[in-house]
Chain A
Amino acid sequence: MEIFGIPLQAMLGQLLLGLVNGSFYAMLSLGLAVIFGLLNVINFAHGTLYMMGAFAAWMGLTYFGLNYWVMLVLAPLLIGLFGIIIERTMLRWLYKLDHLYGLLLTFGITLLLEGLFRSFYGVSGQPYVVPEALSGATNLGFMILPNYRAWVVLASLVACLTSWFVIERTRLGAYLRAGTENPKLVEAFGINVPMMVTLTFGFGAALAAFAGVLAAPIIQVSPLMGSNLIIVVFAVVVIGGMGSILGSIVTGLGLGVIEGLTRVFYPEASSTVVFVIMAIVLMIRPAGLFGKEK
């Protein structure tokens, strides 16, 4: 059986690979959407936090002998703490100003950190081996899927759905959402809104680092890995609707699949297809697929 001249088996394989890449888009755009939704900050440093997560995993293994599983927990905590420091010392002075200031600040942080890593480690990057428990591959009949890639999809789905559940379905999430709608009133009820905002930024940063650790064994751990991805992730957030949690998860996975299919039918366009979709979506639904018109 063939679809547009591509054997069905090959097609299934490509769909699955699209889903793997989509998992990264989903995790990163989720973090961005949470930060934008609750803090109104366009966090351009998100790609850098992702890169730092991968580097943290690599450094943990190389300098301290900490294995993948330890770093999968430790790296998000460390980078989350780093995010909290950034929020406390720099970002919080900008909330009253235009979005543009937050974007400029985080963009500056990106240039600074990326430059530092580049001067220490160069751009070719460092290799990180797949953890032993997940090495090897499974023959699915239509393709040979490395076990590690399957784990990536699983881990990212769990991370995404848990985040969505906490924000949309729990009391803590309700406080968060209320705090962003009307901080004064929520504070009057005795809830520490600035603390919640800080923790939210820390959580977004931790999520990016988590994605970074997941990515480390797949691609070379390189200072450029964040900036190669961040623009696409922004497009995902815009398509999903700025600030929409579910929107960013669904759009991330969906665009990963579409991009994967483009790699088969017209590979030259695979780096631009996301932006073409963004332009079309913005023309039809300016608030994004899942966004609310204000």
Chain B
Amino acid sequence: MKLKTITLAVSAALALGIGASASAQISNDTIKIGFISDMSGLYSDIDGPGGAEAIKMAIADMGGAINGKKIELLTVDHQNKADIAASKAREWVDQQGVDMIIGGTNSATALATAKVMAEKKKPYLAIGPGSARLTNEECSPYTVHYAYDTVALAKGTGSAVVKQGGKTWFFLTADYAFGASLESDTAKVVKAAGGTVLGSVKHPLSASDFSSFLLQAQASKAQILGLANAGGDTINSIKAANEFGITKTMKMAGLLMFINDVHALGLNATQNMYLTDSWYWDQSPESRKWAKRFFEKMKRMPSSLQAADYSVAYQYLQAVKAIGSDDADKVMAKLRATKFNDMYVKNGQLRPDGRVVHDMYLMQVKTPAESKTPWDYLKVAQVIPGDQAFTTKAESACALWK
């Protein structure tokens, strides 16, 4: 009897001890996710508050807690300024005990944040930024580039357009990290496919008027106008190109376009344009179901970035749950060993350079006649298998993948 009591006490103590050590694995007894994005500027429709909402949906799907430890989300508007993003990341990790940051739109802010997170040894899961430098020259064991990148956009849209006879190109490029990456990555693809680049013009972010840049593009006599910009800048470029009749002599290739851009411009101005994206709300039963949930909250259909925000938060939290810890190195190891499957991604895999490899889609904008319901804008022209969509090992300059 006595022995039994002692055994019970010891095993209870052991159980408690184990319990205590397991809970110590979650730092500060909360799992804190930070989300740094453009919450109010030109990129806030494609990510922004909708992205934050998507992350909240992932947290809700995990029940709001893991092993009784609460999951919290912090958000900040970086206002498209790299210094704000980097200093917020530093403050969050140092003072607030943030365990992981999801990176929103704008590559300049992302490159700065990624450096801070590499120094702090905390996971940085980039969704919104496009620059492939994140997993190339500036790769880090803590950076994950989850959704898309400029190489995938170039290989998707760039090669499709060249294949259809668009041999000579002129670029209209947003004058910062992302635009530069997108232009040079696309130029490489165009040249490799036998095309030529006749020139480019760099415009400031959020330019008020594009007509003058467009006239310069037209003067180049190129067949294709490559729009190496995004969000509101792409919208206003396309609008002005239609107004000035540029579309009569040149074909436009929107190198980074989202469903929100198509929605804002309408199908008349965008029909038949190609775009490369990682996800479309109407691509599978699961995606439609999730998009409907999102629509009920935000009154608009999700962009691929918002879907990816959900997916990355969900996959991260699953990894934390599986190993019972939010320790950065353990979570990263778990993520590397996992095949990602959810409504956004099928058989996604994290490469040593930080790139998550999954299928990409070359989409074509429907004509007004083809579009049957609201937000019925895109059709898949071609599925680009993951191993062809992104940087290859031979092309990579990442020291971690040699």
Residues of A within 8 A of B (CB): 7, 10, 13-14, 17-18, 20-21, 115, 118, 122-127, 130, 137, 143-144, 146, 148-149, 218-220, 222, 224, 228-229, 232, 260, 263-264, 267-268, 270-272
A124–B232 contact, CB under 8 A?
yes
Q: A18 to B207, alpha carbons, bound, how many Å?
A: 14
Kindly list chain A residues whose C-beta atoms are within 8 Å of the C-beta of B207: 270-271
Q: With a CB–CB cut-off of 8 A, which chain B residues contact A20?
A: 209, 211
Shortest A4–chain B CB gap in Å is: 14
Residues B200-258 near A (CB distance < 8 A): 201-204, 206-209, 211-213, 215-216, 219, 231-232, 235-236, 239-240, 243-245
**B14 interface hit (Cβ, 8 Å):** no
**B73: interface (CB < 8 Å):** no
* 8 Å CB interface, B176-201 against A: 201
User: Are B41 and A264 within 8 A (Cβ)?
Assistant: no
User: What residues of chain A lie closer than 8 Å to B131, measured between beta carbons?
Assistant: none
Q: Are A270 and B219 in contact (CB under 8 A)?
A: no
Take A14-B212, A127-B265, A143-B215 as given contacts and tell me if A268 and B45 are in contact as well, using a CB distance cutoff of 8 Å.
no
Given contacts A222-B232, A271-B207, contact A10 B215 (CB under 8 A): yes
> What 0/1 readout, one digit per residue, does chain B (351-373) give for beta carbons within 8 Å of chain A?
00000000000000000000000
Which residues from A are CB-within-8-Å of B236?
A: 219-220
Q: B215 near A14 (CB under 8 angstroms)? A: yes
Minimum CB–CB distance from B212 to chain A (whole Å) comes to 4
CA distance A125 to B206 in the complex (A): 13
Is A263 a contact of B264 with CB atoms below 8 Å?
no
> What would 6 A/B residue contacts be, using CB atoms closer than 8 Å?
A115-B40, A123-B231, A220-B232, A224-B41, A267-B203, A272-B204
Q: A10-B219, A123-B232 are in contact. Are A219 and B213 (CB under 8 A)?
A: no
User: Across the interface, do B204 and A268 meet the contact criterion of CB distance under 8 Å?
Assistant: yes
C-alpha spacing A149/B211, complex, angstroms: 11
Question: Nearest Cβ in chain A — how far from B393, in angstroms?
Answer: 35
Q: Is the CB of B204 within 8 A of A271?
A: yes
User: Known contacts being A123-B45, A124-B232, A268-B202, is A260 close to B265, with CB within 8 Å?
Assistant: no
- B244: min CB distance to chain A, Å: 6
Residue contact B260 to A124, C-beta cutoff 8 Å: yes
Tell me whether B261 is interfacial, beta carbon within 8 Å: yes
CB-based contact B245/A144 at 8 Å:
yes
Task: Tell yes or no: B293 within 8 A of A by CB.
Answer: no
Within 8 A of A (CB), among B262-299: 263-266, 269
Which 4 A-B pairs rank lowest in CB-CB distance, beginning with the nearest?
A: A124-B264, A271-B204, A263-B212, A124-B45
Write out the residue numbers on chain A whose beta carbons fall within 8 Å of the beta carbon of B263: 124
The residue among B42, B212, B213, B243 with the most chain A CB atoms within 10 A of its own CB is B212
A-B contact count (CB 8 A): 105
Residues of B within 8 A of A264 (CB): 212, 216
Find out whether the CB atom of A146 lies under 8 angstroms from the CB atom of B232. no
Distance of A7 Cα from B209 Cα, bound (Å): 22
Q: Which residues of B contact A267 (CB under 8 A)?
A: 175, 201-204, 213
B391 at the A/B interface (Cβ < 8 Å)? Answer: no
Task: Enumerate chain B interface residues (CB-CB to A < 8 A).
Answer: 40-42, 44-45, 48, 175, 201-204, 206-209, 211-213, 215-216, 219, 231-232, 235-236, 239-240, 243-245, 260-261, 263-266, 269, 300
Most buried by B among A146, A224, A267: A267
* C-alpha spacing A229/B244, complex, angstroms: 22
Docked CA distance A264–B300 (Å)? 39
Please name all residues of chain A whose beta carbon is closer than 8 Å to the beta carbon of B300 when the two chains form the complex: 122
CB–CB B45/A122 < 8 A: yes
Contact present for A263 and B235 (CB under 8 Å): no
Collect the chain A residues with CB atoms within 8 Å of residue B244's CB.
137, 144, 146
Q: Which residues of A contact B239 (CB under 8 A)?
A: 127, 218-220
Tell me which residues across on chain A come within 8 A of B245, comparing CB atoms: 137, 144, 146
The residue from B203, B211, B232, B269 contacting A270, defined by CB atoms under 8 A apart = B203
CA distance A122 to B303 in the complex (A): 13
Which A residues are CB-close (under 8 A) to B208? 21, 219, 228-229, 232
Q: Which of B48, B209, B269 contacts A219 (CB 8 A)?
A: B209
Cβ of B265: which chain A residues have Cβ within 8 Å of it?
127, 220
Q: Nearest A residue to B264 by beta-carbon distance?
A: A124
Residues from chain A with a CB closer than 8 A to the CB of B215 are 10, 13-14, 17, 143
Question: In the docked arrangement, what's the CA distance between A180 and B212, Å?
Answer: 41
B232 touches A125 (CB 8 A): yes
Q: Could you say which of B203, B211, B263 has the most chain A C-beta atoms within 10 Å of its C-beta?
A: B211
Determine the chain A residues whose CB is within 8 A of the CB of B45 once the complex forms: 122-124
| Interchain CB contact under 8 A, B206 and A228 | yes
* Pair B235/A125 contact, Cβ less than 8 Å: yes
Additional A-B contact list (11), CB under 8 Å, known A13-B215, A124-B260, A218-B240 = A17-B212, A21-B209, A118-B40, A122-B300, A125-B232, A126-B264, A143-B215, A148-B243, A220-B235, A220-B264, A268-B175
Give Cα distance in the complex from A122 to B216, angstroms.
31
Q: CB-CB < 8 A to B232: which residues of A?
A: 123-125, 220, 222, 224
Q: Check A127/B219 contact, CB under 8 A, given A220-B235, A224-B41, A228-B206.
A: no
Q: Using CB atoms, name the residue of chain B closest to A232.
A: B208
Separation in Å of the A106 CB from the closest CB of chain B? 19
Asked whether B213 lies within 8 Å of A123 as measured between CB atoms, the reply is: no
Beyond A123-B44, A124-B231, A219-B236, is A17–B260 a contact (Cβ under 8 Å)? no
Residues in chain B near residue A224, CB distance under 8 A:
41-42, 206, 232
Of all chain A residues, the one with the shortest Cβ separation from B212 is A263
Q: Which single residue of chain B is at the shortest CB-CB distance from A25?
A: B208
CB distance from B108 to the nearest CB of A (A): 15
In the bound assembly, the distance between CA atoms of A264 and B202 in angstroms comes to 10
Contact B212 A123 (CB under 8 A): no
